[in-house]
A and B are shown apart, each in its own frame.
Chain A
Amino acid sequence: MKLTETVVLDKELRWIGKSVTRRDGVGKVTGETKFFSDMTLPNMLWARAARSKYPHALIKSIDTSKAEAVPGVVAVLIHKDVPGMNAFGIVVPDQPVLCFDKVRYLGDSVALVAAESKEAAEKACSLVEVEYEPLPVVSDPIEAVKPDSPKVHEKGNIQRHGSIRVGNVEEAFRSAAVVVENTFRTGRQMHMFLETEAGIGMLDDHGTLVLFIGGQSPYRDQMQVSRALGISPESIRVISTPVGGAFGGKEENSVQIHIALLVMKTKRPVKMVWTREESGFAGIKRHPMTITMKTAADRNGRLLANEVHIVADTGAYASLGPTVLDVAMENSCGPYSVPNIDIDAYLVYTNNGVSGAFRGFGAPQVNFAIESNIDIIAEKLGIDRLEIRKRNVLREGDVGPFGYPLLGSVGIYETLLRAENSEIWSDRAKCKAQRSKPWCRRGVGIAAAVKGFGFGALPDFGAASIQMTPIGKFVVGVSCPEIGQGATTAYAQIAAEALRCNLEDIYVASADSQLAPDTGTSSASMALVRGGNAILAAAPKMIDLLLEAASKIMTESKEALAITKSQVISTKNQRETLTYAEIAKYLHKMRAETKVIAGYTVPRVEKPVEGSIEIPHLSYMYASAISLVEVNTLTGATKVLKVFLSPESGKIINPQTYTGQCEGAIIQGLGFALTEDTQIENGIIKTNNFTTYVIPTIRDIPEIEVDPVETYEKIGPFGAKGLGEIGVIPIGSAVVGAIHDATGARIFTLPATPERVFNALRRRMEEYGSKNQGQAFPRTQV
């Protein structure tokens, strides 16, 4: 059954497209929301992991006797206490729950302690005696692939090699008017969520293991805990919300299995909260990438070929690296039509922490490379930077770069038109002419971005449930956690719209494996589309249930009934109505079924592109960004003054949360562009707190303008499409484009720190001097 005109009387959208207040907003803004790291339980123990003392070493022996003797210590566990599979990792389970023969980074755990106090747990960890045989540290991913490099894993340091060939790049390079080749490097960005990896576990009265752990998928956590403990997933309940920030960094297991092991051992509630420093050296990071890109165009700026070589540092373990590599490959040609493509990408093990999922998932790194090369080609051909992008972007009805049709809406051209008409682009000469100091220079940069939402060619499903309460309201079960993206509010809007009821009559039971069916993950910018569609699959079943009951009460055929404004109405005599509350009363009195469940399968291609895991997606997100920056030519410091972002949005479910998502993504993109890079030397992290690792603060936030191009996405609920990641992707590219526009200095390594910008300026001056018989660089140009 579908929502048809015969069932739904009122066609006007009451909730979709409205800026209703985010349900979790007030609590989070006022600080009243209690996260799991704030939670305590009676008789609770504190847990801590004893971590490796070396970035790379063999374990010769482990002695826990001194740790066990510390007063207050209740349990000390090592590898032999892991009853199930002693490994985790969503794509490739290659990370030990507790190490037994070898450690591969400083975050590796060798023992677990549960104690009556944090202090006792910490002291016991320090007394776990491990005899190590240190091994040479592998810190450079380029060196790591060489045959004589020390092996992080026995099978070698290349975790994955992906390659894709389309057409003939060599032929295209020979016929091109311009060919540019550059090497780009990106930083190891940290998520820096305000709540570190944390949670609390307990056994309930039924013996069920209950885990309260902020994460991105309760069912995936349940699966990883289940296989490590060797117990049925049905005996594990995971509640994953509220989450104090995630951004991809809470998609992988962190504290889940450790807490579960200690709860099962002690039969007492156990809490584990990683310190900020622990989150720094043990947690997930964005993959640093070295990208060599050779791009060719004809004299009109039409792209002819792109040859891409990527080396991604996944650190000690794979985590989600294999699919991050796919997304990097898929997006390495940007939102452009490129007929000849040659990509080789390597995911490499080192002893540099662990890299994994991070908002953008490989796309921001390659966007920096392709967008920079486009700028350079435009400069060489004397074509306007925005114009060259307009000439090359994909359009509705086009075939994607890997030969598959683009099923979803394609609005990148329209976003470029919005960018063209924005104040900072159309008045850029005026914007650039201003400066706060005589030695400062202003410039404007532009970038276009693309990323698929969902899992591409991989299977992707989600289910939702709807239950009617005894007073005629609805509980909507969706397991995708609210990670700050506004999903819970959007789900409520979608459900209220589909069920034609008031928004306050919808309660969203989210992210609880006992209360909601598996709706998949809050990841890949897909929670809205997958969860929303699952709700839209369940809603007709609930409407059918309502009509069936109303038919009996009203002694009217079901076909002559319709729903409108929280009631069932007779289409023959519209004065005959029955409220949802009255139907609920009847259903509960009759002890009839009041719950429905339905699922949604995401469309995908039959077979992925050869050499890939999940390429292509059928639907993509698009955006264009412009930034206005001011560069201090004496120090190299860059200040971003304004960012304009035009995403192609699909139907916007909630304009307020939409804008908030974009603003958050832009700010995270500014960190990627200018400051954020975890410094690791010989396997030892040097920047693991907010003092040494610098993220944008309120003082750094520029003026932001978001101007979405509203379209209709065919696969989205009410025409909506994914959003979470697209805003972060073009920001780094737009900022370095602006730095070049301001100073003529080209940046090839992110973040564009003052030192890098200053050195690029100096190189620019030296190049000018060598080309102009030693003349000083004109002051007017810098």
Chain B
Amino acid sequence: MMRCLGEWTITTDGVHVKVKIFAAPRLALESEDVTLELQDDTTAQDLLNSMPIKEKNYLYVVRDSIRLTPSSKLHGGDEVLIVPPIAGGL
């Protein structure tokens, strides 16, 4: 059950990654419909770098409920979520 305020498909030479962005307005994303071209061997950090987002250091990438390190490789068919740090509670 992911809330998806921005969603687009990234197309590369063999890596098709579905990207969801949490809280897109907070990240000052103007459009929910963006197509980005990435290089091969795309990493989580490459993905963040390709986003039209000012403060990328706030963000991390999650795949299958697991937070990726910046150098984690993305694979064809991946669905990833980009989230800012969040909090609540004790």
Contacts and interface: CB of A to CB of B under 8 A. Distances in A.
Interface string B29-73: 000000000000000010000000001011010101111011100
A154 interface: no
A460 B87 CA distance: 9
A233 B69 contact: yes
Contacts of A248: 89-90
A524 B71 CA distance: 30
Contact of A234 (B57, B71, B89): B71
A585 B49 CA distance: 44
A772 B71 CA distance: 79
Nearest to A358: B90
Given A85-B57, A606-B3, A607-B3, A361 B88 contact: yes
Contacts of A648: none
Nearest to A251: B87
Nearest to A460: B86
B1 A220 contact: no
A218 to B, nearest CB: 12
A459 B2 contact: yes
Interface residues on B, range: 20 to 34
Contacts of B57: 84-85, 223, 226-227
A85 B3 CA distance: 29
B90 A219 contact: no
Contact of B89 (A85, A457, A525): A525
A751 B57 CA distance: 41
A453 B90 CA distance: 9
Contacts of B2: 459
Nearest to A356: B87
A453 B89 CA distance: 7
Contacts of A313: none
A84 B57 CA distance: 10
Nearest to A521: B87
A644 interface: no
B64 A323 contact: no
A411 interface: no
A600 B65 CA distance: 5
Contacts of B1: 601, 603-606
Interface residues on A, range: 35 or more
B8 interface: no
Nearest to A456: B88
Contacts of A219: 67
A327 interface: yes
B90 A326 contact: no
Contact of B88 (A220, A227, A326, A606): A326
B60 A361 contact: no
Given A91-B87, A227-B58, A725-B90, A463 B67 contact: yes
A521 B90 CA distance: 10
Contacts of A461: 62, 65-67
Contact of B66 (A220, A227, A463, A606): A463
A670 to B, nearest CB: 18
Given A361-B89, A603-B1, A459 B64 contact: no
A456 B87 CA distance: 10
Contacts of A359: 90
Contacts, number: 118
B65 A599 contact: yes
Interface in A686-727: 724-725
B77 interface: no
A1 to B, nearest CB: 14
A357 B90 contact: yes
B83 interface: yes
A569 interface: no
Contacts of B85: 90-91, 220, 223
A357 B89 contact: yes
A614 B22 CA distance: 13
B67 A518 contact: yes
A525 B90 contact: yes
A710 B87 CA distance: 28
B88 A232 contact: no
Nearest to A89: B85
Nearest to A91: B87
Contacts of B45: 232
Contacts of A226: 57
Interface string A429-463: 00000000000000000000001011111111111
B24 to A, nearest CB: 13
A599 B64 CA distance: 6
A726 to B, nearest CB: 10
Contacts of A358: 90
Interface in A503-531: 517-518, 521-526
A631 interface: no
Contacts of B90: 247-248, 251, 357-361, 522-525, 724-725
A260 B85 CA distance: 20
A459 B67 contact: no
B81 interface: yes
A615 to B, nearest CB: 10
23 contacts: A90-B87, A220-B85, A223-B60, A232-B45, A233-B69, A234-B69, A234-B71, A251-B90, A357-B89, A358-B90, A455-B88, A458-B22, A458-B88, A461-B67, A462-B65, A518-B67, A523-B87, A524-B87, A524-B90, A525-B89, A604-B3, A606-B1, A724-B90
Q: 6 smallest A-B Cβ distances: which pairs?
A: A524-B89, A599-B65, A227-B57, A518-B67, A599-B66, A455-B88
Given A232-B70, A517-B67, A537-B65, 19 more contacts: A84-B57, A85-B57, A90-B85, A233-B70, A247-B90, A248-B90, A251-B90, A320-B87, A357-B90, A361-B89, A361-B90, A454-B89, A455-B86, A459-B2, A521-B87, A523-B87, A526-B89, A604-B1, A606-B3
Interface of A: 84-85, 90-91, 93, 219-220, 223, 226-227, 232-234, 247-248, 251, 320, 323, 326-327, 357-361, 451, 453-463, 517-518, 521-526, 534, 537, 597-601, 603-607, 614, 724-725
